[in-house]
Amino acid sequence: MAGFPSKIRLEIVSPSRLLFSDLVEEVTFPGSEGYLGVLPGHLPLLTMLGIGVVTYRQGTHKHVLSVSGGFAEVLPDHVVLLPDTVELPEEIDVKRAREALDRAEKRLSGREPVDVERAMAALLRATNRLHLADVARQSRL
């Protein structure tokens, strides 16, 4: 395709650090309404980030990380992800994520009044972390 770049610059910036800045072939991330796939030449877009897994590809290498909340800006040659929280697979504490999942499930199934939206967000974050840790473990086998 003439006129479109073959790669897109991806920057992932958390409140505490620049996690990644390099050229990639594609990136997929959780938006507030579902997952978005971005290739070079994508139309401009500004959206909220949801809870989920970011994937990006550099050549034959696929990379994954966990995000929750924040914003994403997409331009034809540049994607900036500004997640509220971000974790690499090796940073995930599986025991802590399982405990958070158990707590969220107990809150949602209990008889006490509960902030359902907050409990569901905790459940999604814990599930997402466990899923990413499992995917990373499987890829190392």
pLDDT of residue 66: 92
Q: Are 75 and 44 in contact (CB under 8 A)?
A: yes
**81 and 12, same structural domain?**
yes
pLDDT of residue 91: 87
Give the whole-angstrom CA distance, residue 104 versus residue 7. Answer: 40
Q: Which amino acid is at 59?
A: G
DSSP 49: B
**Within-domain flag for 16:** yes
**48 and 79, same structural domain?**
yes
Q: How many domains does the chain have?
A: 2
Which domain range does residue 64 map to?
Answer: 8-87
Q: What is the pLDDT of residues 102-112, one digit of tens each?
A: 998 988 888 88
Give the whole-angstrom CA distance, residue 11 versus residue 30. Answer: 15
Residue 4: pLDDT band by 50, 70, 90 thresholds? Answer: low
Give the mean pLDDT of 65-75: 95
- 132 vs 28 pLDDT, higher one: 28
pTM greater than 0.85 (yes/no): no
The CATH number that applies at residue 113 is 1.20.5
**100 and 74, same structural domain?**
no
